[in-house]
Amino acid sequence: MAINWKLMDAKTEWADEGRLLVELPEDEAATIARDKPRVPPGQNLTNGFPVLSIGDNPLIRTRDWQLVLGGHVERRIHWDWQDFQSAPQTEFKTDIHCVTGWSKLDTVWQGVSTREIIRSVRPLHTAKFVTLRSYDGYATSLDMADFAHEDAFLASHYDGKPLDRAHGGPMRLIVPHLYLWKSAKWLRQIWFTDKEPRGTWEARGYHRRGDPWKQERYE
């Protein structure tokens, strides 16, 4: 796996500089956090679909694909592609927001809701966080409640077609209420934990939670 160190360095610098942070009067920030306008502060709409990857986009064939769910759960799960296809599929329409400043409205996906996954593994009460690990070595983590959010899902299709490799095909996570770095592409492991480990970007100055309406870009 070749890592794109130029991108890693550039984005680490943005975190140091606080790039794209918009100064808002406190009352206005509170209004935005409450009303959630369609486009969060500091974001611009795009019609394209930029690709943001830390390195080469890994090639994972569906016949080799595996997803492991474990950690603080009652029931550990090891899925192959057939198992994933057999889980209940739903269509999702949602807006997405990348911390580099682009937002995209009304993207249409198909996949399996994270709540469906949670029902299958039955997390223990000690499960407070979810760590996501991907085939390209990328990692990120979420609070249990953010992973379980009703809008979050594991996507295998975008715009009616199998998800492109560059966008995380054959399967990626989408957590649309947080900045898109939380939405791990080429997902291979979902681990329920009692402690919060830092992921690839969280270790480089990015926020532990990443709410776009609160501009939780860095910390």
Binding residues vs ligand MTE (CB under 6 A): 50-54, 98, 134, 136, 138, 167-168, 180-181, 183-186
Residue 98 makes contact with Mo ion by CB under 5 A? yes
Nearer to ligand MTE (CB atom), residue 29 or residue 66: 66
* Count of C-beta atoms within a 10 Å radius of residue 166: 13
- Residue type at position 113: S
Task: Read off the tokens for 219.
Answer: 């910390």
Contact partner at residue 136 from ligand MTE, Mo ion, none, CB < 5 to 8 Å by partner kind: ligand MTE
φ/ψ of residue 82, rounded to 5: -60, -45
Report the nearest approach of ligand MTE to the CB of residue 74 (Å): 27
Report the nearest approach of ligand MTE to the CB of residue 189 (Å): 11
Distance CA 56, CA 191 (A): 24
Report the nearest approach of Mo ion to the CB of residue 207 (Å): 12
Distance CA 17, CA 6 (A): 16
Report the nearest approach of ligand MTE to the CB of residue 51 (Å): 4
Evaluate whether 141 touches 129 at the Cβ level (below 8 Å). yes
Q: In sequence order, what are the beta bridge partners of 218?
A: 206
Residue 52 makes contact with Mo ion by CB under 5 A? yes
Binding site for Mo ion (CB under 5 A): 52, 98-99, 181
